[in-house]
Amino acid sequence: MSNNPEDNSIWEAVNVNNLRQKANVSVSMPLQVPIISSGFGNRIDPLTGKIKFHYGLDFRGSSDSIMAILPGTIKKVAYSRSLGNYVEVEHGEFKTIYGHLSQILVREKIEIIAGTVLGITGSTGRSTGEHLHFAIKHRGKAINPVPFLNLVYRRVEMEARKKSKRMASELTSK
């Protein structure tokens, strides 16, 4: 665990849901191959050509499965003119938002584990081409998802290493 207090609050928020024990994995990346096509912050809006703050990250997508990054509860399944088909998941004090989906595969109020497939990437709503718009809110305020996803990625890696070590020791003990 890092010394950054914000990092620790992330895991506390996850513990609020108390779902980690049930899950095989405690975290997941939102896509199998997450390639960022547009970052968080000011950018030239691709539709208007004007500077506009981008409250999330865009990832490349091509009919890809979108996965919940943490265990939680499906808070909202809806359509908006900007986000198109989108899913909002609640994880304690945090919310993650997945937008422009071509298909949604979950419904509101269900509890999910990390890695649950929420839907398929698409280009619905205000979009110039297929991609996933991914956003994180902390107590209602959009935060830069990059440091958060770096933590998630480290944890995914750590769990994969543990798993392969365990498998190796099981094999050699026979």
Instruction: Decide if residue 95 touches Zn ion (CB under 5 A).
Output: no
Instruction: Decide if residue 133 touches Zn ion (CB under 5 A).
Output: yes
Which residue has its beta carbon closest to Zn ion?
Answer: 133
Query: Are 60 and 131 in contact, with CB atoms under 8 Å apart?
Result: yes
Instruction: Decide if residue 145 touches Zn ion (CB under 5 A).
Output: no
Least separation in angstroms between residue 6's CB and Zn ion is 23
**With respect to Zn ion, which residue has the nearer C-beta, 20 or 76?**
76
Instruction: Decide if residue 100 touches Zn ion (CB under 5 A).
Output: no
Least separation in angstroms between residue 100's CB and Zn ion is 8
Amino acid type, 160: A
Instruction: Decide if residue 58 touches Zn ion (CB under 5 A).
Output: yes
**With respect to Zn ion, which residue has the nearer C-beta, 23 or 29?**
29
Angle at 141 between CA 34 and CA 40, to 5 degrees: 35
Least separation in angstroms between residue 133's CB and Zn ion is 3
- Total binding residues for Zn ion by CB under 5 A? 3
**With respect to Zn ion, which residue has the nearer C-beta, 50 or 174?**
50
Q: Which residues bind Zn ion (CB under 5 A)?
A: 56, 58, 133
